[in-house]
Structure 1
Amino acid sequence: MTSKTSRTYDSADHVAAETHPGQLPWTFAYGTVGSNADVGDGRVLSAPARPCRWARR
């Protein structure tokens, strides 16, 4: 049995979503941070905070 992680990409080739077998997908939002135009729009602005399924409770 092979488990694979899948990824989807946005039009700028940023990872838009990543799904690991048996887990909910991670979704990412990108944009510009601050007013420095040299930085570009490739900064991760949001990503979900999810506990590992094997984390101690």
Structure 2
Amino acid sequence: MSDEPTPNPRYFAKEGEGVQVVYNLRDAAPYLDLGYEEVDEVAYLASLPTAADASTVDGD
């Protein structure tokens, strides 16, 4: 077993931008000051397109 700490991801979203994933963050103030909103992992993962959505291509 490794002595390395497990990553602790935190997710920050901003209108019109992608989600920033930051590991082992202690102070979220800089992200909040820049207009990001912290979202939980479940909400972030639920917002991702599914494999079925990704395979759908508008053809001809």
The TM tier, using the shorter chain, reads under 0.3
Greater Rg by CA: 2
From the two aligned structures, give the one with the greater helix fraction. Answer: 2
Superposition TM-score, scaled by structure 2 size: 0.26
- Normalized per residue, the structure richer in strand is 1
Question: Which structure is richer in relative contact order (CA contacts within 8 A, separation 6 or more)?
Answer: 2
